[in-house]
Amino acid sequence: MALLSLNNVEVVYDRVFLAVKGVSIEVPEAGLVALLGANGAGKSTILKAVSWLLAPERGEVTRGEITFDGVDVLAAFDRACVQVLVEEHQEKKPELTSGQKAARTRARNRQARQAVTGSSVQKVNSLDKSEAVSE
């Protein structure tokens, strides 16, 4: 099950301008996903949709679904509910030392570079705590 999932998301600004259509992304727990595209392709809009930052710019998700840890983010009552979900998820994760976090970040960055520079698109596998500690 994906930690964060976007399924066929559509975002509209000012109830007129279609900014993003049909975007589907799955981010696995402890996984890494790159969002790539040309200027104006909708990268920032997708991130704003996930983090509830569309409203100040008169944007809204008009179709599709966004789920975080199995909970429908779009059906949540307000931003405070989403923040509680994120905090609850973070509480489930074991605490890592700063060295363990740095090792995990280096390993993820190395995998991301390999995936982007490889001859074919590669899926970046998620890391578990034991892999991060052993780096």
Element (H, E) at 90: helix 79-92
DSSP 54: S
How do residues 56-77 score in pLDDT, each as one tens digit?
788 889 999 999 888 888 876 5
Amino acid 80 reads A
How do residues 95-116 score in pLDDT, each as one tens digit?
777 777 777 777 776 766 665 5
CA separation, residue 9 to residues 4, 18, 73, 76 (Å): 13, 11, 12, 16
> Where are the domain boundaries for CATH 3.40.50.300 in the chain?
2-92
2-92 topology per CATH:
Rossmann fold (3.40.50)
CA nearest neighbour of 29 among 55, 51, 52, 1 = 1
Q: Which token pair is 20?
A: 């993003």
